[in-house]
Amino acid sequence: MTTTGPRHARIALLGASGYSGLEFARLALGHPGLVLSVLGSREHAGRRAGALPPGLDPRVHALPPVADPFEIAALADSESFDTLVSCLPHGALRELFARYPGLATLPERIVDLSSDYRDGPDRYVYGLPEAFRPSIAGATRVANPGCYPTAAALALLPALELGWVENPVMVSAVSGVSGAGRSAALRTSFVELEGGASIYRAGTEHAHVAEMSRTFERLSGSRMAVGFTPQLAPMARGILLTATARLLAPVSPTEAQLAYAARYEHEPFVRVLEPGVWPETRAVRSSNRCDVAVTTLHEGRTLLATAALDNLVKGAAGQAVQNLNLMLGWPEDRGLPRDGSPW
């Protein structure tokens, strides 16, 4: 892909002090086309930006001061930024837009990492590039998928597109605790989490179940119910996901492997592992890559598909950069890491 868009995009980053916001800032500072013009954080408003992200060096980066998101809303018509990236908690961006309608309409581009617009209202496109690349490339408003739905969709996408999968689908996933956000909570404190793993909101309770179901339906063309078992593990980041489903007709392990390899052959951020090799979270840590492995069981009647990704990169901030690259007409992999940091 050739570079056809503007040379730079000036970013107002809301929720800059959260895990996904800090990760987006890190990636943006290493990106040749993204400029952080405004940083928004209620908790840290008025502080120097150098004190906000502990992994960044303010001696190297010219970072703007941190402002309250509501103060940033007042700048929407001042040409201080042309692109809004929101890493605010679920519901917060809708609240901000309700109080400052101009913020919803004036920026040339908006990418929202919360669940507020993932069901497609107000012209928002669902930002899973591997499935919906053409619509993202022409969009001005993109809803970034959730981390679990991204892993689940990439694990199942080829089988769903080929019409192999019988309703319903069962998904189980282990996640690092950063997926719960940066706010302090007893359940995600070190003492409560270290040394064990726990299941939470199993069945159909988790908010990502509806998103998975909608995405699977779009990919397959038929209704797909989802059962989901999310689990917390004592690690900071990463998702390791397993999806199983009955198949409408037998598919051999070799046929499944070849179909997945063919579908993802030209995808820059999906790697299909060799037969007998299974994903692991450390292999994709700090990268925008998702590793996928697939086979079939029970005489080819059951699909077993697995995926690993970094929930803060391909599951959040990295995918947001990937979507921005598409929206801006830039090479899709521009400024994004493909290689993991296992140690």
- Catalytically active residues are 147
Q: How far is CA 74 from CA 48, 70, 104, 199, in A?
A: 20, 7, 12, 42
The stretches of 110-247 forming alpha helices (DSSP H) are 129-137, 147-161, 190-193, 208-220
* C-alpha to C-alpha distance for 284 and 338, rounded to whole angstroms: 8
Contacts of 150 (CB under 8 A, 6+ apart): 128, 290, 309, 314, 315, 319
What is the distance between the alpha carbons of residues 142 and 29, in angstroms, rounded to a whole number? 21
- What is the number of helices (H) and of strands (E) in the chain? 10, 14
Query: What is the DSSP track for 173-212?
Result: EEE-GGGG-SS--GGGSHHHHTT--EE-STBTTSTHHHHH
Task: Give φ, ψ of 215 to 5 degrees.
Answer: -65, -45
Other Cβ atoms less than 10 A from the Cβ of 243: the count is 27
Whose tokens are 């090799």? That residue is 277
How far is residue 279's CA from residue 15's CA, in Å, rounded to a whole number? Answer: 31
